[in-house]
Amino acid sequence: MARYANATKTKPKTRPMIAFHRSSFHWKSSPWKPDPVYKYTGGFVGVPGQAYQVRFHLEAACTVEDLDSGHRTEIYLGAPCRTEYTIARRNLFQIPSDEWRMAFSRSQSIPISRRPSNEAAEYRGTPLEKQFQAHEIDIRQYDSEETLTDARAVVDATINRDLMNGRIAWTVCHDPDQPGLAGQTGQTGQAGQASQTVQAGQADQADRADRADRNMQVTLEFPVDLININEEDAEFQVCTGPVILPDLETWDGREVHRVFLADAAISGFDHAEFILRREIEAAEREKHWYEAPRGRDRLELNDPDNPPPDYPPRRPRPLVYNETWERESENVILKTKNEG
């Protein structure tokens, strides 16, 4: 397999600032059909033939561009919910509880990994037209914005209560003659307690998720929901989330087929760090309560005397943040007036 040159910072492309809290995804389900095995498939508790609609606001965006072909795809992350029974009058939450949220492009929903990035992707994206009876992606933008690349300007915007988005961009360059990895430095995390610097020839999670067969540019955008500032010395640190990181190894020339959920941190304009979410196994001593159903059981069978093979499937696992990535990047803060 070809190796790749260092990921490099790149200037975020000029485009309007996204108004995340005014942007949304809206879908209409296909008429519900009973599952032959499970009583509450998908958590739906209605009657056959019913269809329901869902709207959620957006929390983050990611653009992946193939610099060789010029093709780019826009990926968005929706607001989450706790797993629920839909649409119920009582016993609304599923216990054991899990988090549901959706990442999607203009054409498909994209699996959000729950595993470390050094593990291969198991699934591919699902076309939105097959997943929903109808859907609408509504991206709203601010009428005007200002790009900040100076720490004092970021501090002043914070004090002035301006609305702010962060943009982080980097490029991954294909270099078949490069003997090392994809150039991710300072990455630590789950896969064997990876070293602080990625060494040539190491199969670290840093390599897998940020390499591709072509020259790629990644640009993240997200609302600055939390920022720390030192007004006197003009210092700032954005530490916020969620953001979505693309698994470039799943790039097929048109789409990415896996993303990672993470939080982002920046304290300047040339470096970014991310901490990724993953699932873990609950301790055995905790499973008696953590995996115990209350009220309806999401895995209840239509025929308890005729369970399917390998029943029951595993219950939801706890989610934690542990694996970290670092990027040499080009960062900007976008601001607009907080009016109305």
12: which DSSP letter? Answer: P
Cα 167-169-171 angle, rounded to 5 deg:
175
pLDDT for residue 3 is more than 90: no
Domain of residue 135 covers 4-336
Lowest-confidence pick of 5-19, 234-248, 300-314, 320-334: 5-19
Model confidence pLDDT, tens digit, residues 269-306: 999 999 999 999 999 999 999 999 999 999 999 999 99
Q: How far apart are CA 332 and CA 181, in angstroms?
A: 27
**Quick check: bond before 96 cis, omega within 30?**
yes
Model confidence pLDDT, tens digit, residues 98-136: 999 999 999 999 999 999 999 998 889 999 999 999 999
Q: How far apart are CA 107 and CA 255, in angstroms?
A: 9
Q: What is the CA radius of gyration of the chain?
A: 22
pLDDT at 318: 97
Which residues, including other chains, have CB under 8 Å from residue 209's CB and lie 6 or more apart? 117, 118, 245, 246, 247, 248, 249, 260, 325
Model confidence pLDDT, tens digit, residues 191-205: 333 333 333 333 344
Model confidence pLDDT, tens digit, residues 27-77: 999 999 999 999 998 899 999 999 999 999 999 999 999 999 999 999 999
Cβ pair 296, 94 in contact under 8 A: yes
Residue 249 banded pLDDT, cuts 50, 70, 90: very high
Give the global pTM. Answer: 0.86
pLDDT at 196: 34
286: which DSSP letter? Answer: G
pLDDT for residue 9 is more than 70: no
Which residues, including other chains, have CB under 8 Å from residue 86's CB and lie 6 or more apart? 42, 43, 44, 45, 46, 52
17: which DSSP letter? Answer: P
Model confidence pLDDT, tens digit, residues 207-233: 455 555 689 999 999 999 999 999 999
Q: How far apart are CA 315 and CA 195, in angstroms?
A: 33
The DSSP secondary structure of 204-218, one letter per residue, reads -HHHHTT--SS-EEE
Q: Is the dihedral of CA 105, 271, 18, 60 positive or negative?
A: positive
Q: How far apart are CA 281 and CA 318, in angstroms?
A: 7
Which residues, including other chains, have CB under 8 Å from residue 40's CB and lie 6 or more apart? 85, 296, 297, 298, 300
Q: How far apart are CA 59 and CA 89, in angstroms?
A: 29
Q: How far apart are CA 303 and CA 56, in angstroms?
A: 35
Q: Is the dihedral of CA 145, 78, 251, 328 positive or negative?
A: positive
Q: What is the total count of domains within the chain?
A: 1
Nearest-CA neighbor of 335 among 177, 145, 153? 145
